[in-house]
Amino acid sequence: MTAVVPPVPLDPSQIRAELLAWFDASGRALPWRLGQEGRRDPYRVWVAEILLQQTQVARGLHYYDRFLEAFPTVQALAGAPVEAVLKAWEGCGYYARARNLHRAAGLIAADGFPTTYVGWLALPGVGPYTAAAVASLAYGEGRAVNDGNVRRVLARLYGEARPTENWIQAHADALLSPTRPGAWNEAVMDLGATVCTPKAPRCATCPLSAHCAARASGTPTAFPAPKVRTAVKAVQAVAVLIGDERTAVLERREGGLLGGLMGLPMQELRESGTTQNALNALCKRLNARPGELLGQITHSMTHRQITLHVYVAASDLPRQTVADAALSRLDHKALGLLQRRQEGLFAMPLTGGSSV
């Protein structure tokens, strides 16, 4: 598929005026948008942008409110133990974001908030998108954001089926409002989230429909073309529940996705290995006695599909209070097997997924 020609020549000043007028009338009232453009609370904007990187706004509002209640200021966040930060982040997934947020809070508490794109970009866990978002929304700096919503809106507006990152950034920069950069960034993102949606765009209500090449083509959802997805890797693992849903033996996980979280002791099956061999190796490491199969769950984790076989085990190892620990959804689902057995659903497979 090749690019199509917009039905009306694109005039940046007209595009800005029409979209900003729509945004002023129809923009979402989100809690981190409180305050005058370019003078918003950088802490609230920063937390929101980090949290929403892999979470839809409708779902993220709950997590945002919960996190801000636990850590209302950057000083509170910096002074908290990382375990408390991970607990407050529980359910959001991609826990490296929480760890980087905590590290960056320590730097900000010591040196103050950055006021420029370059300053934000130097913080742990802050990439070009987040730096541009905070710099424009909180300080009024002229930086265009580039995320999935922006990519879709611009690809459809210009009729570009396969936009590259450089193409998106160049066109976002060209359209950026010089007088209201923060509002412009929010307007494009709101348009993509509420009108120019991936599968069912509401073209009839779009303020830019007269200029949109994708709409003129008759197949707006063809723009942009779907990205080639990374193949999902199937992983088999064994976990043991020593205790119950209230107190259990937990271990601190390592790695990029679950690093820092607590979870049931777990052992991945080696190539050509068996569930029994993995269970025996895990129990030997724990000096535990394996028991019966509690059940099986499947769980999606960023290009991985995990099948987890959960067994009961006995050990003298100290137990922890489950409610006080930061656990992934994988572990919450594993613990839920005990309740399901008590309800007469023993060993029934449980499926589902998450971005954890």
Q: In Å, what is the CA distance from 17 to each residue of 22, 121, 149, 155, 185? A: 9, 30, 19, 20, 13
Secondary structure class of 3 (helix, strand, coil): coil
**What is the Cα–Cα distance from 90 to 325, expressed in whole angstroms?**
9
Is 49 considered catalytic here?
A: yes
Q: How far apart are CA 330 and CA 336, in angstroms?
A: 10
List 49, 90, 141, 186, catalytic entry? 49
CB 173 within 8 A of CB 135: no
Beta strands 353-354 and 289-301, pairing class: parallel
Euclidean distance between CA atoms 214 and 224, whole angstroms:
9
CA 163/CA 3 separation, integer angstroms: 10
Residues annotated as part of the active site: 49
